[in-house]
Each structure stands twice: as structure tokens, then as C-alpha cells.
Amino acid sequence: MTESKLTLTTKLAGNRRMPSLGLLTAAIIALSACSLALAAPQAIVTNARIRLLPVDLPLAGYFDLMNRGDQALILLGASSPAFNMTHMHRSMEHGGTSTMVSVERLEIKPGAALHFSPGGYHLMLMHAIKPLKVGEKVPVVLKFTGGQSLQVMFVVNSAGTE
């Protein structure tokens, strides 16, 4: 994404609701999503954890999300007061090389579960406000369509854990 496009989409995000902005990255959505949000009670999140790294690199956040409602949930991204930037990514293997792509939205059908796990979907948590410690709990807000959101406490695990 070019810098001018970033500026433009940031402006748009401030003026409009999120669902119409399909081109936006998860990062921009996370930045814009500061308005009052409705709870998403049908979303059940378990096993939320962040894998700590010994150096100041982007950290990966993982969790399991279950849709207990009777309507599809559409996850648009996340934000956290502990990080300046949060993206939604997917890791992919291409001929032995692992790459990451940005994910803008993920649909979870009624009764279905979505797993954010090593080698697949993850939250990319960037630019920590302050250094994190193993065992600490960090709030992360998951953003869904319809202005719904869910705050989840993520536990900080050591680098060797999955």
C-alpha cells in the first residue's frame, strides 16, 4: 500500500462506518474503531495468548473463537491499548518458505469455530507501549461487523510455547 493511499483510507475511516470499506487493511480498521461498540455475546473466546519474544519484534496473538449465536460473525480485526498497531495475518507456506498475508475479514458461521494458531491465522501485535512480561494479561478488543466488539484478556506466554 502506498503512503498516499494510507492517508486517504485513514480519512475515510474517520468519516464512515467500517463495513463499506472493503479495501482497508486490518490496521486501519483497528485505528478507526474507537467509537462506542456493542458487545458480541455470541462470540466465545478461549485460549487467548501472546507469544513473547526476547527482542522487540512484532508478537503473535492466538486464540480460539466459537460462534454460539444463530448468525454469522464477521471478524474485522483487533486493537489493544498495549500495542500501537495490531494486524490480522495469515501465515502460509510456499515451497518451504513461510510468508504472511494481511487478512481483512473472517467469517465464522453459526456453531463454527475459528482457530488462530501458529502457522495459520494470528494477530500481529506491533510496537508494544511497554515491555511485556511472561504471565502478564493484556486486553485485546476483537472487532466485528455491526459495530460489535469483544474484549479478551490475552495471557503472555514465553517464546517456547505454542
Task: Summarize as ranges the residues that interact with Cu ion (CB under 5 A).
Answer: 89, 100, 124
Least distance from C-beta 98 to Cu ion, angstroms? Answer: 10
- In this structure, the strands spanning 148-157 and 38-39 are parallel
Query: Among 122, 129, 60, which Cα is nearest to 91's?
Result: 122
Cell of 130: 511497554
Least distance from C-beta 100 to Cu ion, angstroms? Answer: 4
| Separation of alpha carbons 121 and 118, rounded Å | 7
Cell of 150: 469483544
Q: Which position's Cβ is nearest Cu ion?
A: 89
Query: Among 71, 104, 73, which Cα is nearest to 88's?
Result: 104
Minimum CB distance to Cu ion smaller for 40 or for 49: 49
Least distance from C-beta 19 to Cu ion, angstroms? Answer: 24
Minimum CB distance to Cu ion smaller for 40 or for 65: 65
Minimum CB distance to Cu ion smaller for 21 or for 85: 85
Minimum CB distance to Cu ion smaller for 87 or for 143: 87
Least distance from C-beta 115 to Cu ion, angstroms? Answer: 15
| Separation of alpha carbons 160 and 40, rounded Å | 32
